[in-house]
Amino acid sequence: MRSRLVENEDSFAARRRSKRATWLVETFPDLAQMSIIDLGGRVETWARAVVRPKHVHVVNLEAPPPEIPDWAEVDYGDACALPPTISHRRYDLVFSNSVLEHVGGHERRVRFAESVHLLSDAHWVQTPYRYFPIEPHWIAPGMQFLPVRFRTLVARRWPLAHSPAKTHEAAIQQVLWTELVDRSQMRHYFPQSQIRVERLATLPKSLIAVLGSP
């Protein structure tokens, strides 16, 4: 069921991601000529993109892939505390997709936003909307509104989870590192940005802070 909903190339979520990618290209029509930094992303996402930027710098807390194409570079790093070798650089665009909700609380989200503003005058920062009725990581109705104890139970037992936690400690780690935000928070972190709303059946599904589009 999960693969049909979110993981297969022809899944519902894949179609939504494709639509969002088209929106990105329409917003930044010069994307193919741009140098971008992707905070928290992956090279393979851009390898599959309909329009690939001229240069992509991926910064992530995951280990770099064994092979990196010549149009990309990958660094292990914390987007909320970038080393000078990255923070002193400038890019045409900062991109981030479904990362803000995982950085670890309000103070860390402030640091993340500071990194975004430091690196470029243009950005596209997407995050799931807190009040959409389905929690997107577990595909569980209303899970984000439950107390931590019950969210932890869902993280261990819900059949549509991406990778169900095998222990209580692993489950609570997943839960505590996933904190969805609302529009007021996004406006606070990105006060100069346009906050776009991605909708599903008229309901806000995700929020995108956009700055620097023509």
- Predicted pLDDT of residue 106: 98
- Predicted pLDDT of residue 108: 98
Burial class (CB in 10 A: 0-12, 13-18, 19+), 85: exposed
3-state helix, strand, coil in the chain (%, to 5): 35, 25, 40
Burial class (CB in 10 A: 0-12, 13-18, 19+), 163: exposed
- Predicted pLDDT of residue 35: 98
- Predicted pLDDT of residue 2: 47
Q: Does the structure show a pLDDT above 60 at 43?
A: yes
Q: What is the mean pLDDT of residues 36-46?
A: 96
Separation CA 93–CA 91 (nearest Å): 5
Measured over the CA atoms of residue 99, residue 100, residue 106 and residue 108, the dihedral's sign is positive
- The tens digit of pLDDT for each residue in 181-210 reads 999 999 999 999 999 999 998 999 999 999
Structure tokens given for 13: 């979520």
Separation CA 172–CA 108 (nearest Å): 19
Q: What is the pLDDT confidence band of residue 20, given thresholds at 50, 70 and 90?
A: confident
Q: What is the mean pLDDT of residues 54-81?
A: 95
- The tens digit of pLDDT for each residue in 94-153 reads 999 999 999 999 999 999 999 999 999 999 999 999 999 999 999 999 999 999 999 999
Mean pLDDT across the chain = 92
CATH of domain 2-133+179-211: 3.40.50.150
- The tens digit of pLDDT for each residue in 151-161 reads 999 999 998 87
Q: Where are the domains of the chain?
A: 2-133+179-211, 138-177
Q: Does the structure show a pLDDT above 70 at 3?
A: no
Q: What is the mean pLDDT of residues 73-96?
A: 97
> Is-contact 126 212, C-beta < 8 A?
no
- Predicted pLDDT of residue 1: 54
